[in-house]
Structure 1
Amino acid sequence: MRSVDRARILLAPVLLGLLALAAWQAAVVVLELRPFVVPSPTAIAGELVEHADLIATASLATARNAFVGLVVGVLVAVAGAALSSGARLIDEASAPLVTAAAVVPIVALAPVLYTMFGAGAQTARVIVAAIVAFVPVYVNTLRGLRTVAPVHRDLLHVYAATRRQAVVAVTLPGALPFFFTGLRVASSLAVISALVAEYFGGPVDGLGKAITSAVSSSSYALAWAYVVGSVLTGLVFYCATSALERGVLGRRP
């Protein structure tokens, strides 16, 4: 039954996706939609095959910036959450900054960063990805560090556990699920933010620049093929963080 259930879980979204693609293809053919409105799935698939190397190169460029930004954002978020959970003054002082980082618009931030670090550097894209990834990891990790059941706290007090022992035995294991929740959200947001930042300047690489270039040359099916590349890149990030979560949480006693 377990293998049957797994097959059903895998086949259901695949069948739904195939039905959606068939309906899309039929709508384009029957309604005679022009490519600038929406190209057909077969046309997009043809561009994917023909320009697979270009799409892969652009995807790797975007993924590289998103990965570096994700790592930087996660490290800063974890460190900040640890400080905020241990000192109320730091938490109150940093709350406005975290709120500002959560609402900062990429369309306004990216051009400013390109002016600061130069249009030929990838620094602006990495910083944008790091800021966007920082917020969900910080918020979820901070909540996890503060989520300690009173019975666990009382039990450690009865056993005369030190603060370090309490953190290692209860606080950190309890915060891990919250951390990975924020990490899964941040992984997809890092890819999206790095891609959007490419629209506003910087080196001529990455999926964002490729999409704008294809649209400007009226290669609409190719532009959609690059969109598919961005979706696949985001899925790789999300699946990687989900696998990391299952690997870490599955090994906990």
Structure 2
Amino acid sequence: MRETTAGRARMIMAPVILGVVVIVLWQLVVVGFAIKPYVLPSPLSIWDQFTRAFGTIWSGTKVTGFNALVGLLLGAVLGILFAVFSALLRVFDELSLPVVLALAVVPIVALAPVLYTMFGAGEETARQLVAALAVFIPVYVNTLRGLRQVRPVHRDLMRAYAASAWQATRTVTLPGATPFLFTGLRIASSLAVISALIAEYFGGPVDGLGRSITSAASYSNYPLAYAFVLGSIVLGLVFYLLTLALEKFATRHSPP
């Protein structure tokens, strides 16, 4: 028990210590070499702007976070459904493969303006769809891979026990696919935030973090722009940690 606690403490403290060291070195380099803010602001100036504009950053975080959350849920549901159908129906798998490959290489920077034209720049629909598209691919690929991990010997064993299709799915297929599914979700959680931010660069209201970053940079207020970037980083970490907590909960309470 003590070894486990000590190991967890090391896992938490190691990145924290590394982060503190990087920030201190960053501050020393900026001050020591008199680097201009438009090249690289100092951590202290970024933190000062972060505390001053916290209300604006919080408002932008809620807008961007909501779009990323909607995109994450929509893309995850579609990715799981497509993976299930592809695993069960070979015809569906063969027909959907070219579509999935095409979606995987669609550039977000080109798709966002098209969606704004379709739904209107003032609506959040375009940003949510961009996030959903980014989420769909990793969830689909990882879930499908997990569903196909069942070994033939396990299938034969379930047939020997005269297990029904649902019993085989519940006891063999789903437990084997769960780690792959959550791997896709953890990857997708960060992609949802990044995609929502990128989509905000191409128009629409200035409420989100993406537009706030470009607005601050256009006025040469680079510490403020980095403060909005810090808010985006925190938002991405929150999404990742929530997904990780959901994975821990699901695996801990999964049936044996």
Secondary structure of 1:200's match? coil
Equivalent of 1:177 in 160, 176, 179: 179
Aligned to 1:44: 46
- Aligned position for 1:92: 94
Give me the whole-angstrom Cα distance separating, in 2, the residues matched to 1:18 and 1:70.
31
Q: Distance in 2 between matches of 1:106 and 1:132?
A: 8
1:139-167 CA distance string (max 9 Å, x none): 11111111102221111010112222211
The residue that corresponds to 1:162 in the other structure is 164
- Residue 145 of structure 2 corresponds to which residue in structure 1? 143
RMSD between superposed Cα atoms in Å: 0.9
Letter in 1 for 2:53: H
Are 2:241 and 1:245 equivalent residues in the alignment? no
**Which of the numbers 35, 38, 42 marks the counterpart of 2:37?**
35
% same residue = 56
| 2:56 alignment partner AA | L
- What residue is the counterpart of 2:206 in the other structure? 204
Residue 13 (structure 1) shift: 1.2
- Structure 1: distance between partners of 2:13 and 2:196: 32
- Give the Cα–Cα distance (whole angstroms) in 2 for the partners of residues 180 and 8 of structure 1: 24
In structure 2, the residue matched to 1:81 is 83
In structure 1, how many angstroms separate the alpha carbons of the residues matched to 2:132 and 2:205? 18
Offset at 1:34? 0.4
User: CA–CA distance in 2 between the matches of 1:96 and 1:138?
Assistant: 14
2:190: which partner in 1?
Answer: 188
Q: Structure 1 length normalisation: TM-score? A: 0.98
| Aligned counterpart, 1:131 | 133
Give, in whole Å, the separation in 2 of the partners of 1:107 and 1:9: 37
Structure 2: runs of 5 or more not aligned? none
Partner of 2:107: 105
Quote how far apart the aligned CAs of 1:244 are. 0.2
Quote the Cα distance in structure 1 between the aligned partners of 2:162 and 2:132. 40
Distance 2:43 2:209 in 1: 19
Match of 1:220 among 194, 218, 222: 222
